[in-house]
Structure 1
Amino acid sequence: MNEHIWNHRKPLSNLPKALASGTLRVGFIGGSITDARPRNNWPEPVAAWIKENYPQVRVYVENAAIGATGSELAVFRAERDLIERECDLVFVDYSVNDSDDPVEKRMRTREGLLRKLLRDGSRDVVLVHTFRQEFYRDLIDGGAPASIADFEKLAEHYGIGSVNMGLHALEEVKRGRMRWEEWLPDGLHPTERGSLSYAQSVIAFLQSELSEERKAVDSEAGNPLPEPLNAMHWGDAFRLDLSSIETEGPWLIRRWPHLEWMDQVLETAAIGARLSFTFEGRGLTLGFDFGRSASEFRYRIDGGEWQVSKRERPDWCGNDGWYRMFPAADDLSNGQHRFEMEVIHGDGPNCTGSNCRLALVGVVR
């Protein structure tokens, strides 16, 4: 196998046990390339291959991927969407969606996510690297885009296997097995043919991992997590309950039927409505149901200067439906802090409403 496509590190130990037990729970987390809603992305052929080859096994698929989201949000979703659902195997896809984030930030969030998933030793984790047009030059020259190279540092440190699905598809194009437009007509989102190529690279990885040769290798199962590469990782990040937030004005906590990844949102459309809360940690990030009809807001921490959010609303952005994160702080002193926020209208050409729909308050400690 091409070692640049397939990187086998510690053998998968939980996957064979789950197959032998008769019940397997497979988790996926990532962005739009992995999202289950199109029904033809690469996790579908992978799940189908598992069921075809292990017909006696009850297979549960927990696809928690959401388009246009990164590891910053995944850190706060790992417990509910993967760990509490007792996944035995989790595929992580954030090389593309994290690639525009600063290196330090993405290394903190990614390592935090991996440490949460690996902490109790009850699941295997595999990284999968997809493709965006900006990765082309590095890959065609035999190198690694920075976002992938950074992820591979973590994979090596934690002994996590990885599959460069994008490179596998690029190799298929180079060999004439697939036309570029069959794979990636917009430079990012694969067609059904491209998704199948991605899936085939993952299936090849699993076939190797489930071979008798790999099973015979000492997996060092049960070993504690190594010391972190980045002491500022987000492995201890947690969610603040919405009911603990103090409000002024017409706020409601609503069960949220519009995005399946949001249980509830704290919502208002009133300009001037305020909220505040105290948190214990060194960082804070907020998650919203965002779109063109979303408000902006001004905020401050510990009574400091007021700052105003100015979030881009790209052409593909709808009126709502984008689970969007807003990092408020990540380098505070580790202790108690006070956050205050006031709803304002965005007062721009692409801001068409004043809806403030807060779904997540993430605290970093």
Structure 2
Amino acid sequence: MATINDKENEVVRVRGELTNTKRRLTEGKLTIGYIGGSITDGRSGHNWPEPVTRWVVANYPNTRIVVENAGIGATGSDLAAFRAKRDLIDRGCDLVFVEFAVNDNGAPTERRNKTREGLLRQLLSSGTTDVVLVYTYCQDMYASMKEGRMPPSIAEFEALAEYYGLSSVWMGLHALNEVKAGFLRWEEWLPDGLHPTERGSLSYGVSVIDFLRRALSDDLADAERVSRSRPGALPEPLAPGNWERVAFVPLEDVRTEGPWSIRRWVTLAWIDQALSTSAIGSKLYFSFEGRGLALAFDFGKLSAECRYRIDGGAWQATARERPDWCGPHGWLKLETLADDLPQGRHEVEIEVIHGNKPDCAGTRFDLAFIGVIK
């Protein structure tokens, strides 16, 4: 296990150069992407991307800065692997910050390694996007950090950073160091142990700004001489079965039984359309080519459950948790039904059920997308 003190730069680790970022700054337009969970989500108006963006805008006044904040609370790198193209790549992001050390913390190592590497390989595949990993803090990391050890969720991200030559910023360590030095009170940082206040977000942002100062310290004029040819192919992946190749089953191709409608989704910006019903017993039928299947929902305490079977196998039922903070709807939640099927064509049947759980208070079934893992 890597330890904090093993690193020459504890908080900021610069690997390689922000070649695309430097070039775009000289050309006069830079698009910055952010993706992560609630700590990155732009809807609060004060999370760490705000001071970072303001610093870039203030220091490069002759460059038009475009921001694509794709952070969504209570989501991890699994959902991000399906969102990367729509919310970052297709929007022309030149520099992307990835923050999932906290929200992936509870996922098994094998699972998070596959989803994280798949996300990173998608972002890196064009050769025109710089990717930086950033690590925040949750209370489960306290014991490891107190003993000078790197929490497993972060250490596994660092293995990917080393392999792909990606810079990283340990924002959580920077804030903890401020607490230890008396510059920041714990309650100013994380009153609930997870979500930073405006002061805590500023601490996170300052560590990223310190990284940008270092990484962009070279004369930007040198960037004009950097070759614009696409770099060589990515190295072989570390994780077999990573989620680099994903696709979608169009909602229009789904066969339905019962009262269904496809609706433009006006309540959650990350969903374009949803396949929707509130009738128990309604069914869906579709096929896909691949080895894995995941469904995304507008989810909450009013959501129904479903039972499903693949290729005529045994029926299985979902039983999703609804934490106290979960609202009636509005949580873009991913449910992975399979990740290890034989590669090929598969047939799927889904039936809406109530679930009969005390916290399952409704019968809404709002399907945002059907994701396929190739």
TM-score by length of 1: 0.97
Runs of 4+ in 1 over 2 A off after TM superposition: 213-221
Question: What is aligned with 1:70?
Answer: 76
Measured after TM superposition, the shift of residue 6 of structure 1 is 0.8
Matching residue's letter, 1:147: S
Which SS does the other structure have where 2:105 is aligned?
coil
Aligned to 1:231: 240
| 1:2 Cα offset (Å) | 5.9
Q: Does the residue aligned with 1:37 lie in a helix, a strand or coil? A: helix
Instruction: After TM superposition, give the deviation of residue 143 of structure 1 in Å.
Output: 1.1
- Spell out the pairing of 1:120-199 with structure 2 (5 A cutoff): 120-199=126-205
2:25 is matched with which residue?
19
Which residue of 303, 312, 319 maps to 1:303? 312
Q: 1:103 aligns with which of 102, 106, 109?
A: 109
1:355–1:143 CA distance, 2 compared to 1 (3 A): same
How many Å apart are 1:231 and its aligned residue? 2.1
Deviation at 1:214, TM superposition (A): 10
CA contact (8 A) 2:263 2:276 kept: yes
Q: Relative to 1, partners in 2 of residues 1:99 and 1:318: Cα closer, same or farther, differing over 3 Å?
A: same
Letter of the 1:282 counterpart: R
1:76-115 counterparts in 2 under 5 A? 76-115=82-121
Distance 1:203 1:215 in 2: 21
Please report how far the alpha carbon of residue 215 of structure 1 lies from its aligned counterpart in structure 2 after TM superposition: 9.2
Question: Which of 54, 61, 69 is equivalent to 2:67?
Answer: 61
Tell me if structure 2 keeps the 8 A contact 1:11–1:219.
no
CA distance in 1, matches of 2:222, 2:184: 36
* 1:31 partnered with 2:40: no
Structure 1 partner of 2:326: 317
Corresponding residue of 2:293 = 284
Distance 2:112 2:46 in 1: 28
CA distance in structure 1 between the partners assigned to 2:209 and 2:89 by the alignment? 23
The Cα of 1:216 is off from its aligned counterpart by 7.4
Secondary structure of the structure 2 residue equivalent to 1:212: coil
Question: Are the equivalent residues in 2 in contact too, given 1:11–1:215 (CA < 8 A)?
Answer: no
What pairs up with 1:204-283 in 2 under 5 angstroms? 204-212=210-218, 222-283=231-292
User: Retained in 2: the 8 A contact 1:12–1:219?
Assistant: no
Q: How many residues align?
A: 365
2:54 to 48, 56, 62: 48
Preserved CA contact (<8 Å) 2:26 2:221: no
Check whether the contact 2:22–2:220 (CA below 8 A) recurs between aligned residues.
no
For residue 24 of structure 1, give the secondary structure of its aligned residue in structure 2.
strand
* Counterpart in the other structure of 2:14: 8
- Supply the distance in 2 between the matched residues of 1:52 and 1:210 (Cα, whole angstroms): 14
Encode CA deviations 1:243-276: one digit per residue, 9 max, x unaligned. 1111101010000001000000000000000001
Whether the aligned pair in 2 keeps the contact of 1:292 and 1:317 (CA below 8 Å) is yes
Which position in structure 1 is the counterpart of 2:361?
352
Letter in 1 for 2:203: S
Q: Is the 8 A contact 1:241 1:361 kept in 2?
A: yes
Distance, in Å, in 2 between the alignment partners of 1:2 and 1:262 is: 43
Partner in structure 1 of residue 4 of structure 2:
none
The code of the aligned residue for 2:145 comes to L
2:23–2:220 contact (8 Å) kept in structure 1: no
Ranges in structure 2 where 5+ consecutive residues have no aligned partner: 1-6
**TM-score, normalising length: structure 2:** 0.95
Q: 2:3 corresponds to which residue?
A: none
| SS of the residue 1:136 aligns to | helix
| CA deviation after TM superposition for structure 1 residue 213, in Å | 8.1
Partners of 1:253 and 1:265 within 8 A in 2: yes
1:191 partner amino acid: T
Q: 1:25 to 1:214 in 2, by over 3 A?
A: closer
Does structure 1 retain, via aligned residues, the 8 Å contact 2:97–2:134? yes
Q: Is the 8 A contact 1:111 1:233 kept in 2?
A: yes
Are the equivalent residues in 2 in contact too, given 1:208–1:214 (CA < 8 A)? no
1:294 aligns with 2:303: yes
Question: How many percent identity over aligned positions?
Answer: 56
Deviation at 1:295, TM superposition (A): 0.1
Task: Return the alpha-carbon distance in structure 1 between the equivalents of residues 37 and 296 of structure 2.
Answer: 16
Alignment deviations for residues 103-139 of structure 1 (CA, whole Å, 9 cap, x no partner): 1111111000000000010110000000001101111
**Residue 241 to residue 51, structure 1, CA distance change in 2 (3 Å):** same
